[in-house]
Amino acid sequence: GDSVTQMEGPVTLSEEAFLTINCTYTATGYPSLFWYVQYPGEGLQLLLKATKADDKGSNKGFEATYRKETTSFHLEKGSVQVSDSAVYFCALSQGGGFKTIFGAGTRLFVKA
Amino acid sequence: DGGITQSPKYLFRKEGQNVTLSCEQNLNHDAMYWYRQDPGQGLRLIYYSQIVNDFQKGDIAEGYSVSREKKESFPLTVTSAQKNPTAFYLCASLDPANNQPQHFGDGTRLSIL
């Protein structure tokens, strides 16, 4: 079945460092891919999405490119801030979209 | 603004007691979902509903029940049969057209007294 694998956390960075959180997926069709962010005590918020191969999603300085050849959707940010500390979830949906498959989440800590 | 409202934000349950978590959405979405999240863990699907008066079990449905009498509402009951109910519960909704993303509420944290 479909699945999403994320790099294990926690990831600890200093402010202004470069961030990469790896995400790879397994899917039989052509899924849409998403990154969600969860701040402490809150629900998940959509951060960015990409619906087809080579699409780049971007928002708030974060970017991810849908790479079909490597089945990847890595999240990147050039300069992280303390306020980016959160848990990040990679996810996919397809087949009419009723089921979304989530990765296990990666916790990011950013130190001042 | 459209969104999903979960209530209460914090809930306490005594042993042997059923409790119901509320989830209401005004996004006009057909599909709704309940997830459970344990500390430091990912999301696990409890139940989902694709349309009014219909719902399906997710991966961890035992000890939980739901109803979907209205499009806007998808309450979750945590029954006394759920032996370890302490967790963070998230409700989500979805317009399934074109693989759109799920929208989430702010969650309810349930604890055992």
Model confidence pLDDT, tens digit, residues B34-90? 999 998 888 999 999 999 999 999 999 999 999 999 999 999 999 988 889 999 999
Looking up tokens 């790896």, which residue turns up? Answer: A22
Q: Count the Cβ atoms, other than its own, within 10 Å of residue A25.
A: 21
A24 is written with which tokens?
A: 């790879």
Distances (CA, A) of A39 to A63, A83, B83: 18, 9, 28
Query: Nearest by CB to A97, which of B43, B92, B94?
Result: B94
Query: Nearest by CB to A100, which of B40, B90, B102?
Result: B102
How would DSSP label each residue in A57-71?
EEETTEEEE-BTTTT
A16 is written with which tokens?
A: 């202004």
B interface mutation test: which of A25, A33, A44, A107 has the most B CBs within 10 A? Answer: A44
Give pLDDT tens digits for A50-62.
999 999 999 999 9
Amino acid at B102: Q
Per-residue pLDDT at B98 exceeds 70: no
